[in-house]
Amino acid sequence: MDATIRELRWGDLDDLIDIYLHLYEERGATGSIGITLYHEPPTRASEIAWFADLFRRNLEGTALTRVADVDGHAVGSCTVSPSGSGPNSEQSHVGVLGILIHQAHRGHGIGRALMTDVLERCRGTYELLRLSVFSENAGAIRLYEQLGFQRCGHIPRAIRRGSTYFDADEMVLTL
Structural domain total, the chain: 1
| Domain of residue 22, residue span | 4-174
DSSP state of 34: S
pLDDT for 88: 77
Report field, pTM of the whole predicted structure over 0.95: no
pLDDT tens for the chain, 175 residues long, are 689 999 999 999 999 999 999 999 888 887 667 788 888 999 999 999 999 999 999 999 999 999 999 999 999 999 999 997 766 789 989 999 999 999 999 999 999 999 999 999 999 999 999 999 999 999 999 999 999 999 999 999 999 988 889 999 999 999 9
pLDDT for 98: 96
Q: Strand 73-82's sheet: what is its strand order?
A: 4-7, 64-70, 73-82, 94-101, 128-134, 164-174, 150-161
SS3 category, 99: strand
DSSP state of 132: E
pLDDT for 140: 93
The rounded Cα 89 to chain-centroid distance in angstroms is 22
CATH number of domain containing 136: 3.40.630.30
Strand (E) positions, 34-111? 64-70, 73-82, 94-101
